[in-house]
Chains A and B, each alone.
Chain A
Amino acid sequence: MTTDGRIAQLSIADAAATLAGRILDAFHGDEFTGLADHVDSCADQVVALGAVRLVGADVFAPHLLLSRPLAGRDVAVVADSFAYFPAVGEPDTHERRVTAWRDWATATVLTRLAGTGPDEAVVFAPPPDTASAVLGPADAWQQWSVHVAQLSPLALPEVGGPVVEAVGREGKALARGAVRAVLRRDYVNAARLARWVALLSHSGTRLPLDPVLLVEQIRLHGGTGPRLLLDLAVARHQLGIEPA
């Protein structure tokens, strides 16, 4: 992500966890200071902007789900994050396809909330690819569900688009993937998939498992990582459960 190699990547991952924790605070009723204030408070602002890119559309979870206002300065922060860490070009590998879809989701939500995107190229770009190109066939539900988990920031209201529609048609494959993750004690991916389960449940899709019990299972066993807890908070909100 940067020319500084692995150390910078690690610190961006740490910074993303910190940012996830700040967003999580909003779900717990704490004051949400906003993205711009958060980035300003960080020692290394480039790393903080990298964290914004990594967290992606989830930086808007408080705005989308809790109706927190989006300040103009926050819009500028997201635009800066795209300036420092440009969107991927041609999505020619799976990893780049995932990144392209996550960027697309960030730009889409930003456009919906602010009426403007991070830059014209990203905002007005059509979906980067077909849903099947990034997800693969749902018959191969193990790999398909891992890909769905990688796209968990798309499991927010207001994102929509081909991937959300494609996942929405495959409730059984999604449920199998979530149960597989729980049985493998892979709670990070289980929480990501629980968000999709919650999104589908919220939109009235019939699922072969109990979404509330799934989320509670992960909460009780999944530890205290802020990224996982943020995924669960988003899922709980969609399911109408009070914050844990």
Chain B
Amino acid sequence: MSTAVAHAAHEISSRAITWLHANRHLGGFPSETTADLGDPDSVYKPLSETVLLSSLVLREGVAGPGEAQHARELLDFAWQQVREGDLLYERQLRHSVLTDPLETYAHFARSGKRHEGLEELLAHSAALGALTEVMPNRRLAVANARRIVGIGDGEDWAELTRVTWLGATPQPWAIDWMTGYCLTHTVFHLTDWGARPEDMPEDLADYVATWLPVWIDIWSEVEQWDLVAELLIVGVCLPEPLFQEADWKRLAGVQHADGLVPRDGAPVDDDPLQRFSDQQHPTIVAAIAGTLALSRLLST
């Protein structure tokens, strides 16, 4: 085990969780929000990501008592925000082909917060084949969410994987910033965020292990910390995990004293609400990266 990486990973995640917990009330829905969600990306998507983080902190069980308590409170906050699942239920009822209620609910369900009516609806949608057209890596998100909740008859993971960018194992320079995110999410969902590293097909694992250091290098050089943190998670999810000490120290180095991890090299806004809204995502990603890295290091 690399003690230096474990130390950096623990520092990054505990500080990030503390910041997210301290600022959680900035991430609640405005009053009278309905299930139609005029702007799903403003509060709903980050809230869903907060639930993901909380569910992973609780699943891995490597956080200190304070951070674990923060994770439970973040989960409770989010569960209260979605009216104990009713908002997700109403959204799925009205928009039967949308995938986000399932994707959000899966992380609640993993943590023991379940909604019977929503699960019936989700099972029915899966049986219908009711699914809006999505990017191939997003389709894997749906497959993973169904696997977590226990819905449907199973998926053809090999076929779903084959049509992603990663599944084609392109020449490694045939990638851009957005495609970088497609790559990371393909790995996240295939391995259920590091819980099933052996589910990475061998050829894809070899391909990622070969090129991940290059992608981390070039996006670190241009200070794309959000993507870099996602790539660090990818390294943790591999059958033979990749931990490069310099990468973790660099990420710890850009984390602010209060725990915020900046999205990129641009100045961070001083306004508390803007600051939270801008930097919530990269801070969640960094918290997940640190949590999963520490867990993997402790188990190997």
* Contact A210 B213, beta carbon cutoff 8 Å: no
Cα distance A209–B174 when bound, in Å?
11
Q: Which of B167-211 contact A (CB under 8 A)?
A: 171-173, 175, 207, 210-211
* Contact B210 A208, beta carbon cutoff 8 Å: yes
* Contact B173 A217, beta carbon cutoff 8 Å: yes
* Contact B173 A179, beta carbon cutoff 8 Å: yes
* Contact A209 B171, beta carbon cutoff 8 Å: yes
Cα distance A182–B214 when bound, in Å?
11
* Contact B221 A179, beta carbon cutoff 8 Å: no
* Contact A183 B173, beta carbon cutoff 8 Å: yes
* B37 is an interface residue with CB less than 8 A from chain A: no
B residues less than 8 Å from A175 (CB atoms): 210
Q: Is the interface of A mostly helix, strand, loop or mixed?
A: helix
* B155 is an interface residue with CB less than 8 A from chain A: no
Distance from B32 Cβ to chain A, minimum over Cβ atoms (Å): 47
* B217 is an interface residue with CB less than 8 A from chain A: yes
- How many pairs, one residue from A and one from B, have CB atoms within 8 Å of each other in the complex? 34
**Known contacts A172-B210, A208-B210; A180 and B217 CB within 8 A of each other:** yes
Chain B's closest residue to A208 (CB) is B210
Chain A's closest residue to B207 (CB) is A208
**Known contacts A183-B173, A184-B221; A141 and B210 CB within 8 A of each other:** no
* B218 is an interface residue with CB less than 8 A from chain A: yes
* A142 is an interface residue with CB less than 8 A from chain B: yes
Cα distance A1–B221 when bound, in Å?
33
Q: How many residues of A contact B (CB 8 A)?
A: 16
Contact with B along A180-221 (1 / 0, CB 8 A): 101110000000000000000000000011100110010000
Partner of B218, one of A141, A183, A208, A210: A183
Distance from A190 Cβ to chain B, minimum over Cβ atoms (Å): 9
* A38 is an interface residue with CB less than 8 A from chain B: no
Q: Which of B213-262 contact A (CB under 8 A)?
A: 213-214, 217-218, 221
* A63 is an interface residue with CB less than 8 A from chain B: no
* A176 is an interface residue with CB less than 8 A from chain B: yes
Cα distance A103–B218 when bound, in Å?
33
Chain A's closest residue to B246 (CB) is A140
Cα distance A208–B207 when bound, in Å?
8
B residues less than 8 Å from A210 (CB atoms): 171
Q: Which of A77-117 contact B (CB under 8 A)?
A: none
B residues less than 8 Å from A182 (CB atoms): 173
Chain B's closest residue to A142 (CB) is B217
* Contact B173 A176, beta carbon cutoff 8 Å: no
* Contact B214 A213, beta carbon cutoff 8 Å: no
Cα distance A194–B237 when bound, in Å?
31
Distance from A147 Cβ to chain B, minimum over Cβ atoms (Å): 16
* Contact B172 A209, beta carbon cutoff 8 Å: yes
Could you say which of A175, A180, A210 has the most chain B C-beta atoms within 10 Å of its C-beta? A180
**Known contacts A180-B218, A183-B218, A184-B221; A213 and B171 CB within 8 A of each other:** yes
Partner of A141, one of B172, B175, B213, B221: B213
A residues less than 8 Å from B207 (CB atoms): 208
Cα distance A55–B287 when bound, in Å?
51
Q: Which of B143-181 contact A (CB under 8 A)?
A: 171-173, 175
A residues less than 8 Å from B218 (CB atoms): 180, 183-184
* Contact A176 B171, beta carbon cutoff 8 Å: no
Distance from A219 Cβ to chain B, minimum over Cβ atoms (Å): 14
* Contact A183 B214, beta carbon cutoff 8 Å: yes
- Chosen A-B contacts, 8 in total, with CB atoms closer than 8 Å, are A141-B213, A176-B213, A176-B214, A179-B173, A179-B214, A208-B211, A209-B172, A214-B173
Using A179-B172, A180-B218, A184-B218 as known contacts, list a sample of 16 further A-B pairs with CB atoms less than 8 Å apart, ordered by residue number in A: A141-B213, A175-B210, A176-B210, A176-B214, A179-B173, A179-B211, A183-B173, A183-B175, A183-B214, A208-B211, A209-B171, A213-B171, A214-B171, A214-B173, A217-B171, A217-B173
Closest 4 CB pairs of A and B: A182-B173, A183-B218, A179-B172, A208-B210
Give B contacts to A, CB under 8 Å. Answer: 171-173, 175, 207, 210-211, 213-214, 217-218, 221
